[in-house]
Amino acid sequence: MTLIILWLIQDLLTVFSGGGMQIPGLFILGIVYKLLIDSSSESSLRSIWCAFAGGILWDLRWVGIPGFFTLGYVAVVMIVIQVWALIPPQGRISGTGWLVFVLMEISQLIPPLLPVLILGGSAGWVFFIRQQGNSLPAILLFMYIYSRKVKNSQKV
């Protein structure tokens, strides 16, 4: 349910901005956050399908060519699953702040970069750079929520 709400918030912010501001990918940040909190195989499979469905809906709603953001979302989920699986569960609690930041930043780099690389054009790069600047506060907010969740789970 949270992912649906994040997708709708991202969509509404995109509508209300009227193209004047590039909105960060809140939906994919939510998926990455869920994967970092719960890395079970069932959660991983559910995340892949959520990323696929959300990407298709986003492509049909905004991009017009199905597959650009879908490929990016699924690629991000697969990268996060593989990288997070390399770290033993004991090491995921402490000392992973930079890794969490990198994984969340990857979620903001790959999906908007794919249309730019495939279609090209200088306008696409301007869009991409602006979106990266605007996504930093969202990444920091999700990192803060993640760190609070980890600290609360250590206290119990």
Structure confidence at residue 54 (pLDDT)? 93
Structure confidence at residue 80 (pLDDT)? 94
- Closest CA relative to residue 26, chosen from 139, 117, 156, 147: 139
Q: Does 70 have pLDDT greater than 70?
A: yes
Give pLDDT tens digits for 5-63. 999 999 898 888 876 667 888 999 999 999 998 878 898 999 999 999 999 998 888 87
Amino acid at 73: Y
pTM for this entry? 0.88
| Residue whose structure tokens are 């918030």 | 9
Q: Report how far residue 20's alpha carbon sits from residue 117's, in angstroms, rounded to the nearest whole number.
A: 22
Check: CB of residue 105 under 8 Å from CB of residue 76: no
Q: Report how far residue 151's alpha carbon sits from residue 121's, in angstroms, rounded to the nearest whole number.
A: 44
Distances (CA, A) of 100 to 35, 63, 119, 142: 11, 28, 30, 10
**DSSP letter string, 21-51:** SPPP-HHHHHHHHHHHH---HHHHHHHHHHH
Distances (CA, A) of 37 to 31, 43, 89: 10, 10, 11
Looking only at Cα atoms, what is the longest distance across the chain? 52
Structure confidence at residue 20 (pLDDT)? 65
Structure confidence at residue 95 (pLDDT)? 58
Q: Does 67 have pLDDT greater than 70?
A: yes
